[in-house]
A and B are shown apart, each in its own frame.
Chain A
Amino acid sequence: MNIFSCKQASQMVSESMDRPLRLRERVTLRMHLLMCSFCTRFVRQMRVLRRAVVQLGQATPESSVLPQVSLSTEARARISRVLSEG
């Protein structure tokens, strides 16, 4: 029985975030994970990624979770010019 390559397993892990896996896919993935510590690690890291993104989505606009980037000086000047022209 095919138990997925690491590449297939990583695809299944990602797809499991977008659709319910079929029973056979779930079982096969679980078997792969039992034998592969790298993919097990990968699964945990995918969950971290998702947690981070959800936190980003729930952040209020003022929150420090949003990247503390700023408009560049050029962009600011350009926008200011456009606004003054209305």
Chain B
Amino acid sequence: MALDSTDAKDSTRDISGAPRLDPDRWLNGHGDVLFRFAKTRVGRSEVAEDLVQETLLAALRSQQQFRGEADERTWLLAILKRKIIDHLRLRDRESAFPSFHKADEWVDDLFDQRERWKVAPGNWERGPGAAMERAEFWGVFSDCLGKLPQRMAETFSQREIDQLSTEEICKELAISPSNLWVILYRARMRLWKCLDKNWFGGEREQ
């Protein structure tokens, strides 16, 4: 992000008592919130950490543009959201999507030769409604999202968390709708199984 060309004017404003922004204070005050937000979008902790770093760095470089109209956190979150979009765009240009033509052994392994469930879906006795009111559930959920292959997690988040239409995602990734459906199916199966195992896991009726 380019430096504001009105440095002189802004530094006068600083002297005149406008709040001087302190990056370490941002890190302590908003770092975790930014990290959590990023993590639900990109899955992997390392990627989310990098995004927080880039966000704070961009904020530092453009702090003259922060005029205290929005609150600091809202401003930082707006920068983070742009950084996440940039990250997804760049990634799309740099690497082709892993093949969806190949069979997904992980999913195949849920079924027997006649394509019936190898292990019957559990009955989720722990009650989904109550689960969502518990912080631990969201921790497990986030871990499960983090275990998806990177591109799969990001595509899933765009579709389900940010609710983009399949058309928008196909355009952005330059893939056909049927390929997107395959990716989303594989992502849902992994998440479902992960939640089943790590949260809802109960008795198994065969």
Contacts and interface: CB of A to CB of B under 8 A. Distances in A.
A61 B135 contact: no
The 4 closest A-B pairs by CB, nearest first: A5-B115, A67-B142, A7-B115, A57-B161
Contacts of A53: 160-161
Given A41-B120, A42-B117, A79-B27, 8 more contacts: A14-B181, A14-B184, A15-B185, A19-B177, A52-B128, A56-B138, A65-B132, A67-B39
Interface of A: 5-8, 10-11, 14-15, 17-19, 38-39, 41-42, 44-46, 48-57, 61-62, 64-72, 75-76, 78-80, 82-84, 86
Interface stretch (B8-16, B82-90, B93-101, B189-197): B189-197
Contacts of A62: 33
B24 interface: yes
B152 to A, nearest CB: 13
B40 A66 contact: yes
A72 B39 CA distance: 13
Interface of A, secondary structure class, is helix
7 contacts: A14-B188, A15-B185, A45-B192, A51-B132, A68-B135, A69-B45, A80-B24
B53 A78 contact: yes
A64 B138 contact: yes
Interface size class of B (residues with CB under 8 A): 35 or more
Given A7-B115, A14-B184, A67 B161 contact: no
Interface of B, secondary structure class, is helix
A61 B38 CA distance: 10
Interface of B: 23-24, 27, 31-37, 39-40, 45, 49, 52-53, 56-57, 60-61, 73, 77, 110-111, 114-117, 120-121, 123-124, 128, 132, 135, 138-139, 141-143, 159-163, 166, 177, 180-181, 184-185, 188-189, 191-192, 195-196, 200
A45 B116 contact: no
Contacts of A68: 36, 135, 138-139
A83 B49 contact: no
B146 to A, nearest CB: 9
A2 to B, nearest CB: 12
A79 B161 CA distance: 27
A82 B141 contact: no
A61 B37 contact: yes
